[in-house]
Every structure is written in C-alpha cells, then in structure tokens.
Structure 1
Amino acid sequence: MKRIIIPSIALAALSTSVFAACPQVTVDNAMGVPAGAYPQQYELAEFQSAANCTLTFSGNPAAEALNGRIRGNPALPSLAQRIPQEPLVVAPYSAIGKYGGTLDVLSNATEAGTSDFLSVRHVNLVRYSDDLQTIVPNIAKSWSWNDDFTQLTFKLRKGHKWSDGAPFSSADVKYWYDNLALNSNVIAKPKDYVLVAGKPMTVDTPDAQTVIFNLPSPKPGLLAHFATSFAQGFQPKHFLGKWDPELNADADKMAQAAGFENGLAVLSAYFGNSDWTDTPSPLLNSPQKVAKLPADVVPTLESHITVADSTEGRHLVANPYFHMVDTAGKQLPYISEQDEIYINENEVRLLKLVNSEVDYKSQSLQLPSVPQLLDGREKGDYSIDLRPEITLSSFGFNVTSENPEKRKVFGDLRFRQAMSVAINRDEVNEVAFFGMGNPAQYIGFSPAPSFVDAKWSKYKTEYDVKAANALLDQIGMKDIDGDKYRELPNGEKLVLNIQYSTQGVAGQMVELVAQHWSSVGVKTTVKEVTPDEYRSAQSSNQLDVVVWRKSQPIAIVLGNNELWVPPFENYFGGRVGMLWAEWVDSNGSSGVEPPAYVKELISDVNAFQSESAGTAASDALGSKLVQNMVENLLFIGVVQAPAPIYHRNALKNFTDFKTHSYEYYRTYPYRATQWFLEE
C-alpha cells in the first residue's frame, strides 16, 4: 500500500526530532496517549503532539476503481491532494480496520425508513459524541459563541474537498443558507431551525475557512441543531449554484439543453424541494435525462456517495475525498461500498434479519419483534441489543378534521381526557412490551428536564372506564341505535379508523388501544399501512387519529420548535392541527385559527429558545410549555419501551448505543465511518 507524508503547516510546526511511528490508538487501548480536547478524536497537530509522532497517511487500494464509478468525477489525484491539510483524526473503538467489503442494509422504501442508513454516512458541522452530552467537531474544526449567543462562528478545515475534488469553503455554507434554506423557489417555507423567533439570520464569510451566523436574538440551541439534524448546513455552490437563474444567467439555457424546463427544475432534480437529504436523485427522478447532466448525484462531504438509485434500492461507494483518518493514518471510511434494498413488509424485513442478510438495522424494529430475532441469533451470528427509546408511543386526534362534527368532538378536551383514561396502559405494557416499558403521558421532553414536575408524566394515565364513560356522556355521545357504540352528538355514526405504520409504532399496541376505546363505546378499527401511505393521509388532513412515537431532548427543542408549533412535528412524525398550521403559515389568511393555548405554546417556545438552559427564566418557560401541552392532551402518551438494535457480529468497531433513537440521528454519535467488515 502506497504511503504518503502529507505536508501541512501543522507538520512544519513540529520539531524535526519528532518522526516516530504513531501509536495506533483506539478507544479500548489509548497506548499511553492522552485524550484530546474532545472524546475519541483529535485534530492532526493535537494528535501528533500528544503521541510525539508524525502521522503518515494511506488510502483504500480500491479508491481509484471506486472513483471511476462516480460519474462526473475527474481522474483521482494522489491522497495528499484529496484529504484536508487538517484532517480529523479518529480513534477507532477497538481496532484499526481493514479496507473493503459492502455494508448491506435494509430500508422500507424510497424516503421511508431510510434515516437509519442515512445516518451511517452522515456528516454535519458538528455532532454529539457517544455520551450524548458532548458536542464535538466534524466538518467544522472549531466553533465559538459570543457572550449573548447572538453570533456563532465556525472554523472550517483547510484543504477540505467535495467528493468531486472541488474545494469546500465557507461560501458553501452561505450558499446553503441564503440560496436554498431561505429560497421560496426551493423550500416553500423556511424551517424553524434556520430562523430565530421567526426571523432570519445573516451569514458572513470573512475568509474561506470562517463562517459567522449572526442571529437577531439569542438561540443557544442552534449548535445542538447542527449536531443532531439530518439537514446539513452546507451545499456545493460550485455545482448547484450554476442551476439557479439568480446566480447564473445561463442556468435556464443549460437546463433546457439537458431536457429540463429551466434551471430550477434541475436544481429540484438534484436537491429536491425540502431539507430532507434523502430525496430521489436524477438517477431515479429523471432517468431519461440524467445522462445529459454533468453528474448523477450532488457532490457530497459524506463518507459514501450514491452511484445507483432505483425503486428497489441504492448502491454507494466510498468518498475518495473524505476528511477523516484513523490514528494509523488510514483514510476513512474502511468499508468500500454500501448496498441498500427496500422492503415495506415488516415480516419480510424480519426474515432477512434472521437470515443474516443485513449488517445493521434499528429503525422500524419494535420490541414485539425481539423473540423472533433472538431465536435466530446463534445460527445467524448476529447480536440484538435492547436500548431505551427517547420517544414515547402517542396518539393524537384530528382537532381540525374536515368533518365539522368530528372537529367539535376531537376538539373537546373532555373527549381527549376520556380517550386517555380509557387506555389500560399496564395491559399494553405487559402484552405488547413484555412488561419492559414505562406507562407514561406525553410531555414533549425526553428525558424529562429537572423543571418538569413528575406529576405530568402520570397525568390522566390512570385506567378508569367509569370516568371515560362519564366524560363521553357529558359530551352527548350516546348509543342511539343500540349497537353498543356511541354516535356523535348530532346522531352521525362515529368510527375511528386508525391507520398505523410499523415504522412508527408497534402494531400490538395499536390493536390493544383500539379494543380499549371500543370498550367505552367508541368504535375503533385498525389498518396497517406503509409509511408513505400514512404520511400522505396525515398531511392531507384525512386521518381521524395519528399514532407515532414522539418526544425530544431539551437540547433539540432549544434549536427546533417543531414539537410545540402546529402541526407539532415535521412530515415524518405524528402531526395534528394541520389547518391550525395553515392559519399560522398564512398569517391568518387561510386555515383555522388555533385556540389561545396553542398561540401560547408558539410564543413560549420561541422565548424558551432564546434563554440559556438551566436559568430560572428558561426553567419557568419550560415548565409552562409542559403544563400547557399535557393539560390539553394534544397527544396522548401510552408506553415508553426499549427497542432492539441488530448487527452482524462480522461488523467490527460496533459499540453499544446509549439509546435506540432518531433524535441524536441514530448512528451518528457512534461513528459508523470506522466500522469495518471482518470477512
């Protein structure tokens, strides 16, 4: 394997006497090298100083062949010209890995159940370390706040390049913010995390390695947003910018030559029309036109890049310009290729796991599946780890239903109280979750911060059929025709049709809750659907009941208000109040005006985000948010239960996860780029 010494300012600064081979430090064996400023990683100069050595670098022997499969990429230059002058040095968990192999993964469908796999190759400016407490550098080398949290400065890595070899710089961060995140031609409505109390920030770029976010008011949670979100704070201006008519007068002409209507159509084909990083590429959305485009997919900073994309799945190869190396100087990632297949049927997915056809899986796996997975564990040579969930299985009623009579009933707090106390949570826990869960009410935060009174987690969770019936009687819901089920107060039939996806919740739980509600005279039916079918019906305001897992850690709430503002989550989660959201987004020109308590939630969460966590003002606002959310039961919590994480034992440097959760972006804290395959 060819080994190359990378010249850098950092190396030049070292003593000429320091030329010893570097110890191959791992998390399991530090070899006497002290820890750096951040856990399990170092900046180059920091590592060389701590280890008293000069690091030499080597790359994947297959890099040239892999690069040849990335259409649009130039011939591969030397490794010295590919990695940054200031690479991020990563200490693997157990061992220096070996190159090669294909990581086999399993998702539900295009844009459904894919965040698990997305997280494996994901990067952002920063991330949480695996303690889920410490934010550490990633794409950014460092960051700093001013005293009042109104200015966040990032320093980037010198010599960092996109996957096509083009320089990555501060201009790419500013381009993402100004020309994509705030561009209504690309994303119709700016996301909360790019705003501060509804107002935009500004981005300054005094030099190629410096980015300054100027905030109109304090928002300390902005940094945690970058550490947890799928939405990356950068995009390749050199590649995407040329398709924007505002930036390139020839954009439309170029697009039309490739068979597209205009430049924005090409931009949409590459980037999509949302911040979601998993929209179909031109390989899938424009297969007849993609050959006339300069590349199949957008250049990336991630560990792998897509080279095939269809309705059956995707295939990716290692990014030859990736910015991380291990403590032996080997460029990451170790694994050369990734292969993702789509299967929507839960039973078929489980069978493939039992047959050991998949290397890693956690998303869409629920606790009720564990017995089947454990039965095949020895033969399949894989491991199953149960880890606590951050989220809580929760139901919500369509308080802005298109049916005016249902809207009246679902909007009546007494109805939501009745439905909450009608649930036998202890039975759900025992039957669906083997007694391993914790019956609880939805409070928005998880884990509960110190300012949350413990009573709210138990609010209206007592199983009380008598109270439920009394509340329903008060509303005027009677059994008029003698079929044992209640009608709406105006005499119309009421049947709650619960649609659910196993990606969101366990089917056994849904079935039990449906029985509980039927037992108090509210006829309830259950139907399993795909995630896409569920989300489409939910977003078009067609569902009577929504059911998904919800909750976020305080760090995420400080950077993103989505759980507290109608419709109370993004497209991928459980949402209610769609017409309230329309009213908010349109400044009251359309939709349905929300009640006063919802307006208070909006105001209070914006104020909460501007306070520093742990202060008296922050705690008071947080306490008020919880009380308001819980007392109004917009979402009804059921049980918080652990869930399984699956990996084949041949997948090495795989560590124990603290949680089974999307909220810290699944594998992102656990550094999947240093996984390797033993075969």
Structure 2
Amino acid sequence: MFLKRTLLSAAALVALSSSAYAACPTPTVSDMKGLQSVYPQQFELAEFEKAVSCDLAISENPAINDLNARITGNGKLAVVADRIPAEALVVAPYDQIGSYGGTLTGLSKGTESGTSDLLSVRHVNFVRYADDLQTVVPNIAQAWEWNEDYTVLTFDLRKGHKWSDGEAFTSEDVAFWMNDIILNPDVYEKTPDRWLFAGKPVKVEAVTPEIVKFTFPVPTPGILNRFAVDFGQPFQPKHFLGQFMPKYNKDADKLAQSYGFKNGAEAVDFYYGGSDWKDVPSPLLKDADKAAKIGRAVVPTLESFIVVEENAEGRKLVANPYFHMVDTKGQQLPYLNEIVETYVSDKEVQNLKIMNGEVVWKQQAVFLEDFPLLKENEGKGGYNIQFAPTFGENVFYSFNRTHQDPVLREIFNDIRFNRAMSVAINRDEINEIVYLGQGKPMQGVPAEVKTVSFVTDDHLNKDIQFDPAMAKKLLAEMGLKDSDGDGTLERPDGKPLVVRLVYSSQGSPVKMQELVRDYWTAVGVRIDLKEVTSDEYRASGNNNDLDLTVWKYDGNAGPTISQDTTVFVPPFGDFFNPGTGFAWAAWKKSDGAEGIEPPADIKKLWDLSEKFIQVEFGTDASNKLGQEITDIHVDNMLKIGTVGDIVAPFLYRNDLQNVKPIKAKTYDFYWTYPYRPQQWFLSQ
C-alpha cells in the first residue's frame, strides 16, 4: 500500500497559474490561496517556494534566546535560518497565522501517569497521520520507500536537521538507537518483543547521513503505522549517549565515574531510563544535582518542547529552538513559549482546576460522567468542552487466568465463571449512568470495530444480556455454593469467594467500578473495591498480583494491530495496559521452562498473530486471520467488555487558537499528534 517512493519530483509539485504572486502568500487550511500540496495541510520547503514563486523568509520567536537560556547545556544560538533544516517542513495553520508567546497549562496524574496527552502535544516521529486519520504524511522523515515484498523500508531524513542542543541529527542516530540501545544488553537485558519480528531483530543501517534503511526478517507491511502512531521514537542522540559507551569513547567509564556513576552503562540508564517512553522520571527527578554537574538536564530531543524543570509537583518545558517546522509565513514553530504540566491525582481537584480556567488543554482522563458538571461551568471557566468519538474506550474486566492462588486460578479459568460475570453486568444501566446513554453495550474484542471488518455482531453480542438468574445458574453448575447463607459463595476450599477489584481512575470511570461491584456481589461474588494510582495499578498488574485487571482497550485500532499484535497474545496488553495470563507469557518466553502452559487455543494465538502482521492489513488473508483470533478471544472471554461506541469529552480554553475538532479521542492515534498542536497559539 505504501509502495511508491514518496520523494517529491517536479511532476508532483503543484502547478502554478501563469501569473506569479507579487509577494509570498500565507495560506491557511481555511484559505489555501488556491494552492494544493502533495500531502494534506503541509509542504516541503522546496515544494512551497516553487508553488508560491518566492523564497520564504525565516523568522523566529522573539523570546527564543531567553527560552534557550533555560535549556541546560545549550550554547548561544545561531540565526534561525541556520537552526532549521535546509529541507524544513512548512505547515499551513488551521485558521490563522499565529502569534508567539504564552504557556500551555495541562494536568496529568504524575510523572509517567496520564502524561501521554501532553506528551503527544510535543511528539514527533518519522511520519504521522494527517487529521483525516487515513493519510500518512512526512514529519521527521521527508520521504520513504518500500521494496516489493515489504521487507526493506528506507527513510529519507531532512538535510541540516539538528537536535535541541544544536548538534546534527543524522541516520547515524537512528542506527545508534537500534544497535546500541535496543539491542544493547546493558540497556535491555532482553531485546523488547516489539522490536523482534518472527523472533528476530530488524537490521538498521545508516546508508548516507540522510538515508537510513530498515531490513526486516519477514514481510512487515504495517510497520509504517508504528512510526505514525507510536510513542516510541526510533532515534537517540549518539553524540550525547555515545560518550558513555566504550564502543565510542575508550574513556567512557572514567567519564561516567567522574560524574558519580558506577560506569557508563549506569550513566546511559540515568538519561535513557531503559524505555522508549519519554515521560519516565527525568534525570531532574532522579538526581537534579548530578544532571546539573553533567550539564544536561535531559537527553536532547527533536520534539517541539524540551523539559527544563521537574519536581514532585510537575514539569516545565520550553520551545525547542531547533525545531524543524515553520508556518507558511516562515515563522519557526511552535508558537507557544512553554508547557507547564501539573501533577494532580485527585479527579475532584482536576475538575476544580478546569472550572477555574487554569487548564488550557485536556482530553485524557476526562470522562462522560464529569461532562454535566464541566459543561455547567463552561462559561465560568472560559473553556469549550466538546464530544469526540472514541476508539478503544470499551472498559474491560479480565480475570487473572494465571493467578498465584491455585484455587482462584481454577475458578477464573472456568469459562462458566467468566460468562456468569458477563451476564451479571447491567450494561444498559452503565450506559445510562456512566455514559449518559451515548454508548452501546458490547462484548470485549481485541480489535476496534470501527477500524476493522472482521469483528462480527455475534462477537459483539455474546453474553452481554443482563441475566442475574443465568449468572447464578452458571456459578451453581461450577459447584459454587453459599452454604452459610451470608450471600457470598464459598470457594472449593471453603473460603468465601472474595475478589479484590483494584482500579485506577485514569483507566476507567469510578462510578462503573461501584456499579460492577454491586452487580457481582448480587450474584454471590463479593467484591472488595480499591482505587490506586495508575503507577500502583500497573506495578501490581505486571507483577501478576491482581485478581483481575480493568482498563479501557488501548492499542487495538487498525493502525496499531497492523504492526503490533501485543493485544492479541498473552498477557494481552503491555506494561501500561496489563491484561491477563502473565504466566502463560512467561511459559512462551522461556520455551516452557517457566510459567504455566496455556490451553491449546491460547497457544494458537502466537502463530496466528505472527502471520497477521506479515500480510497486508485489510486484505482477505488479514481478515481471515483476524476473525480466527477474535473467535478465540471471545470464546474464552479473555476480556469481558462493557459499553463501546461511546463519545468522550475533551476541552480547551477559549483563548487557545487553531484548534480543530478532533475526529477521534484515542490513544491509538496518539491523542493530539494528528492535529498539529505546534500551530496552536494563545490569543492575547
């Protein structure tokens, strides 16, 4: 599907009328001045200058030198024309050319907790989805090319692109990321599964400074989608992290020790954190004094903003003076000076700050149950709250099939128990109370139905009727009885059947947990409810310490499952969204030496998933595999769904300009990433 080379050619450039413009026009999406572009709403610099028949004069934020002074380790700035790539990306703002200045204020739960919303505001990757959520467009890369069998993907980078500290960004930084970070046992004891294909790593080569080649061991046609929607950035600053590696600096360990590290590997971990995820606790939280001594607060970035402060209350970021985008007037983006992210774990405090007008942008962890209150105070707070369709918002309950308690493990693996728990849920009531009647009761499925064609009505409707009598009958068939008449069934060992439901409000509405507790208690399964932070929830889930996991589906939209089938196979999720079957996953990873051997149909999922990502997404072959995978998930009721096809609120303050209504509120397209937040600005 992405087979043709996308480098711009003279034939691809926009044809002009016979009369050239007297002065450079400044097209916006609302008024493109009669221009068209190869990709929606953006131009390559040469493409734009050819289209308007004039040279674009590059200008900068008047405050950029002051902002740069806050970036630890950055030197004096060169003129802006020397800071942006020679092949800069020209962005057409939505409504108007923006003005510089101002601070984007936002909220998250804590460092690495609910941060992806604001992280997406500054995010970059090789490519991204345009706001139609259908077209992949250039970003860090200006072009790409596939070979015929989808095993070789070549990216063309931007000549003259620079890191946020002014050092050159080249293909060597991409090769360094794979060869010296992902495949480095000092960083990852085991290569992350997401970068293995049929069990083998991808080969990354720097062909020229601007050309980098990915060679996959098997066809991987969907991988471009990973580079369009994924949080992970496939490049790291070799000039900075490489100084702590003996491969590039024979005195690497000595240098690291001079800063108080045990060796160079510890210094790399201090800055990289062993994760593609950008919002792990920064060096400023780990040891601000050590970071200051080294002279670099955080790793240099290609993003639009860079972290300059972080403490237990929040973080501050300033505009990247080397960012690669300009608007159609030639002004370097972003327009905003600063992002201030405050950590607020309590939902009531979050709502209060929103209603007081303290929050410029918020979409993650704003639930429908809060909409009436926030809508009522919209005028007072000076903000605009709207609905958007969701992907992956169906909240699921997944009982721990490899529980450390063998009695609970046996109960949870009985399909009758899971069916009972499903029909005990009153989804219509949840829809009315939690989702204001805006959703549709449906079963949990491993693919977002709006983005695939292999999920059937039978899948979505299986055991979703509210039938407490059926639930009690299924539990009785299992031999579970209430011998003492206290309303709670006993386990086979005589203990009361008590299930602890631990949840985080970031992943699901609080009211839903209270309702489900009452539904299940009514059929004899006593539920102990406990709310924790998302960090605590994830730690317990990934340690196999939870009786069941509850979250909303993440990572199951088409662009995600076309290149990452994590949601298909045990443990049916990732660190940020744990599922079930952790001991099944351990059995697979250890070739049977550890963990618990899964049932035969669960074993099939690994083979089916490998085949799924090796065929082009949406084809008959892909759909056949997808349906078989979905059959196994639903037949085993691996995740009990509740209500899907819902809308969800997002909000922004009235002074935030160039905001376009989002087509979907979803992590699966990485929140704001398709909507070009670099061209947001605050009216004065």
TM-score (norm. length: structure 1): 0.96
Alignment of 1:512-551 (within 5 A): 512-551=515-554
Tell me the equivalent position of 1:413.
415
Aligned with 1:486 (options 477, 484, 489): 489
What is the SS of the residue equivalent to 2:289?
coil
Aligned with 1:622 (options 626, 637, 647): 626
> For residue 368 of structure 1, what is the amino acid of its counterpart?
E
The number of equivalent residue pairs is 667
Show CA shifts across 1:192-246 (max 9, x none): 4322122111112210000110011111111000100110011111111111234
Contact 2:369 2:433 in 1 (8 A): no
Contact 1:26 1:91 in 2 (8 A): yes
In 2: Cα distance, 1:511 partner to 1:189 partner: 40
Contact 1:441 1:458 in 2 (8 A): yes
Tell me the equivalent position of 1:665.
670
What is the SS of the residue equivalent to 1:288?
helix
Alignment of 1:319-330 (within 5 A): 319-330=320-331
Tell me the equivalent position of 2:396.
394
In 2: Cα distance, 1:432 partner to 1:278 partner: 30
Q: Is residue 2:153 matched to residue 1:148? A: no
Tell me the equivalent position of 1:3.
none
In 2: Cα distance, 1:82 partner to 1:330 partner: 12
Alignment of 1:168-317 (within 5 A): 168-317=169-318
Tell me the equivalent position of 2:105.
104
Show CA shifts across 1:365-415 (max 9, x none): 111000110111011111111112211111100111111100000111111
Structure 1 residue 121, shift from structure 2 partner: 0.3
TM-score (norm. length: structure 2): 0.95
Tell me the equivalent position of 1:645.
650
> Which range is displaced more, 612-621 or 81-90?
612-621
In 2: Cα distance, 1:220 partner to 1:94 partner: 36
Tell me the equivalent position of 2:616.
612
Tell me the equivalent position of 2:6.
none
Show CA shifts across 1:119-172 (max 9, x none): 000000000111111110000001111111111010000000000010000001
> For residue 574 of structure 1, what is the amino acid of its counterpart?
P
What is the SS of the residue equivalent to 1:226?
helix
> For residue 478 of structure 1, what is the amino acid of its counterpart?
K
Structure 1 residue 18, shift from structure 2 partner: 6.9
Structure 1 residue 448, shift from structure 2 partner: 4.9
What is the SS of the residue equivalent to 2:255?
helix
Structure 1 residue 665, shift from structure 2 partner: 0.5
Aligned with 1:456 (options 443, 447, 459): 459
Structure 1 residue 432, shift from structure 2 partner: 1.6
Alignment of 1:33-182 (within 5 A): 33=35, 35-182=36-183
Contact 1:18 1:54 in 2 (8 A): no
Q: Is residue 2:323 matched to residue 1:318? A: no
Show CA shifts across 1:442-483 (max 9, x none): 111112512222210111111122221111111111112211
Alignment of 1:427-506 (within 5 A): 427-446=429-448, 447-506=450-509
In 1: Cα distance, 2:640 partner to 2:190 partner: 29
In 2: Cα distance, 1:531 partner to 1:443 partner: 23
Show CA shifts across 1:515-562 (max 9, x none): 111111111122221111211211221111210001511221011111
Structure 1 residue 575, shift from structure 2 partner: 1.7
In 2: Cα distance, 1:597 partner to 1:185 partner: 36
In 2: Cα distance, 1:221 partner to 1:576 partner: 26
In 2: Cα distance, 1:586 partner to 1:670 partner: 42
What is the SS of the residue equivalent to 1:637?
coil
In 1: Cα distance, 2:187 partner to 2:615 partner: 31
Instruction: Give identity over the alignment, percent.
Output: 48
Contact 2:20 2:52 in 1 (8 A): no
> For residue 402 of structure 1, what is the amino acid of its counterpart?
Q
Tell me the equivalent position of 1:6.
none
> For residue 403 of structure 1, what is the amino acid of its counterpart?
D
Tell me the equivalent position of 1:655.
660
> Which range is displaced more, 134-143 or 268-277?
268-277
In 1: Cα distance, 2:246 partner to 2:603 partner: 39
- Unmatched runs of 5 consecutive residues or more in structure 2: 1-8
Show CA shifts across 1:4-26 (max 9, x none): xxxxx99xx999x9784221111
Aligned with 2:26 (options 24, 27, 42): 24
Tell me the equivalent position of 2:679.
674
In 2: Cα distance, 1:458 partner to 1:574 partner: 24
CA 1:92–1:107 in structure 2 vs 1: closer, same or farther (change >3 Å)?
A: same
What is the SS of the residue equivalent to 1:57?
coil
Contact 2:542 2:578 in 1 (8 A): no
> For residue 572 of structure 1, what is the amino acid of its counterpart?
F
> For residue 46 of structure 1, what is the amino acid of its counterpart?
E
In 1: Cα distance, 2:260 partner to 2:398 partner: 45
> For residue 592 of structure 1, what is the amino acid of its counterpart?
I
In 2: Cα distance, 1:499 partner to 1:507 partner: 11
